Amino acid sequence: MSRADFDLALRLGQGRERVIEKLLTNDSSTIERVTVEVKSEVLSDKFVFIEHAAWAKPSGIAITKADYYAIEVYPDWWVFIPTPYLRTMWRDALEEFGERRGGDDNAARGAIVPKEWLVYRPHCPNR
């Protein structure tokens, strides 16, 4: 990913964060205070890249303290997943597909999780 592509992805991600913030804070009296990691994956039709390391340091799913991930799988189509469930999917994807590289200079390491798993495949974080 080039710097220009990264800057574009960053701006897109920051814009999408504002969308989620508006959704979650519309009526604060009915919404419990939670932390949400926002990820936009609209450029891939089949997979979500779940990062666990970058530049030889733990990152992403390996260190997040977020309660949920909000993943934009298609434009304006969001899936909210409790982080423990996504961690289970990430581990399963590592086993099934192996580790992948991506990001700037291929410095990020992670797993590709099929988008269909986000909706159709049950994952139990306590298995």
Report how far residue 67's alpha carbon sits from residue 28's, in angstroms, rounded to the nearest whole number. 17
Indicate the pLDDT class of residue 113, thresholds 50, 70 and 90.
very high
Domain contains 81: yes
CB-based burial label for 102 (10 Å; 0-12, 13-18, 19+)? middle
Indicate the pLDDT class of residue 80, thresholds 50, 70 and 90.
confident
Domain contains 48: yes
Phi, psi of 109 (to 5 degrees): -125, 145
Domain contains 85: yes
Amino acid at residue number 91: R
Domain contains 93: yes
Domain contains 125: no
Indicate the pLDDT class of residue 42, thresholds 50, 70 and 90.
low
Question: What's the predicted TM-score (pTM) here?
Answer: 0.70
Q: How many CA atoms lie within 13 A of 76 on its CB side?
A: 0
CB-based burial label for 126 (10 Å; 0-12, 13-18, 19+)? exposed
Find out whether 79 and 118 touch, Cβ atoms under 8 Å.
Answer: yes
- Count H helices, E strands: the chain? 3, 7
* Residue 103, both tokens: 């990001």
User: Range of 70's domain?
Assistant: 3-120
Domain contains 78: yes
Domain contains 113: yes
Tally of domains within the chain: 1
Q: What is the mean pLDDT of residues 45-50?
A: 90
